Chain A
Amino acid sequence: MHLAQLNVAHMRAPVDSPELADFVAALEPVNALADAAPGFVWRLKGGDAPTDTIQHDYGDMLLVNFSAWASRDALWNYVYRSGHLEVLRRRREWFHRMAEPYSVMWWIPEGHTPSLAEAMRRLATLKADGPGPEAFTFTDFHPAPGEHAEAVDSTRR
């Protein structure tokens, strides 16, 4: 199984505005880090240019990241243990604080490419029902079906 993750962020200003310029400038190096990261499987791209963001029907000010990873550790190490952390540290400069869940994970069969609509439904499930095997977070993690929690823990450092 692979781990799919969606996160959404509400921009403080349009993506082509000066306020977002530093963020847009960070897209290329940060996406390159993801593509080269151990355990990276797939990410939804907005276009051929490295700074293209994903186009969708969920509002102009909503920025969407959607990717798949080989394991919890692979995703964790990219998100928090790489150059991506510096972008996260500065996120308040570019994005509004969110009172509701803005990130969701779930397990997908290898080779399956989930749609953005499915991902948004998973986020809605998390918001409505709280974390469970169908929609969870790093904090309330659920191991892949058939995998024991202990096996996941032993790989964490």
Chain B
Amino acid sequence: MSGDDLDVLGALHDPVRRALYDFVAAQGREVGRDEAARAAGVSRTLAAFHLDKLVESGLLETGFRRLSGRAGPGSGRPAKVYRRSPVERQVSVPPRDYRTLALVLAEAVDALGAEEAAENAARRLGERAKAADLRETLGERGYEPYDEDGVVRLRNCPFHVLAEERPVLVCSLNLALCQGLLSALGDPRVSARLDPRPGECCVAFSKTNED
């Protein structure tokens, strides 16, 4: 475990700070102080204080933007905005390191040309999940699902580090895992497919019987 990461995550102990962080993270875009304050139910001054603490600890990033709806003369100076930092923090007590082992196994799959066997294993793992609701299951697994035009998209890739190292293998396994989850849910009207976007997870879910 990195002591630095534990210190950083300690910044989330305060409930207001935690609420502000969760809100900014869930938006997937830059968020202004007013909006964050309203969402957390606190004053703008208090929100600004905690948001800046989150920036200091490296959990949020900040910038200045003219917020939408205000443009041209009289729109004032740019407002301070916040977004989630892409830096990954990990704390495990006692120390655990599944990442290194996963990279070893990924390299072995590659060397063996065992992609199909690995995809089948991922699908079976998904099928064994105890899942009742798609959004809930995806949320629990860290995918951060959101709706867009009737499609369930995933804001976060839980396998990000591995997906950067071995994108084709990891995204294929992720798709197979998601297809397995769908089987466990037993809803044949929904299908999972690869539809990657920069900065998000590669899988999207859509209704299949609407054609």
Measured CB to CB, the residues of A under 8 A from B are 73, 77, 79-83, 85-86, 88-89, 91-92, 97, 139, 156-157
Contacts and interface: CB of A to CB of B under 8 A. Distances in A.
Contacts of B164: 156
A92 B112 CA distance: 13
A82 B195 CA distance: 7
Contact of A89 (B165, B168, B199): B168
Contact of A81 (B86, B175, B193, B197): B197
Contacts of A97: 113
B62 interface: no
Contacts of A83: 195
Nearest to B163: A80
B168 A157 contact: no
Given A85-B194, A86-B194, A92-B115, A80 B171 contact: yes
Contacts of A73: 198
A137 to B, nearest CB: 12
Nearest to B160: A157
A80 B197 contact: no
A77 B199 CA distance: 9
A86 B168 CA distance: 9
A82 B198 CA distance: 8
Given A92-B115, A157-B86, A81 B168 contact: no
- Closest 8 CB pairs between A and B? A80-B167, A77-B198, A157-B199, A81-B196, A81-B198, A88-B168, A86-B194, A89-B172
A157 B198 contact: yes
A157 B200 CA distance: 9
Contacts, number: 39
Contacts of B167: 79-80, 85
A156 B194 CA distance: 21
A86 B194 CA distance: 6
B115 A82 contact: no
B120 to A, nearest CB: 14
Contact of A82 (B165, B172, B196): B196
Given A81-B202, A88-B168, 13 more contacts: A77-B198, A80-B171, A82-B196, A82-B197, A86-B193, A89-B168, A89-B194, A92-B113, A97-B113, A139-B165, A156-B86, A156-B164, A157-B198
Contacts of A139: 165
Nearest to A82: B196
Nearest to B86: A157
A139 B167 CA distance: 11
28 contacts: A73-B198, A77-B198, A79-B167, A80-B167, A80-B168, A80-B196, A81-B197, A81-B198, A82-B196, A82-B197, A83-B195, A85-B167, A85-B168, A85-B171, A85-B196, A85-B202, A86-B193, A88-B168, A89-B168, A89-B171, A89-B172, A89-B175, A91-B168, A92-B113, A139-B165, A156-B86, A156-B164, A157-B199
Interface string B56-84: 00000000000000000000000000000
Interface string B136-174: 000000000000000000000000000011011001100
Nearest to A73: B198
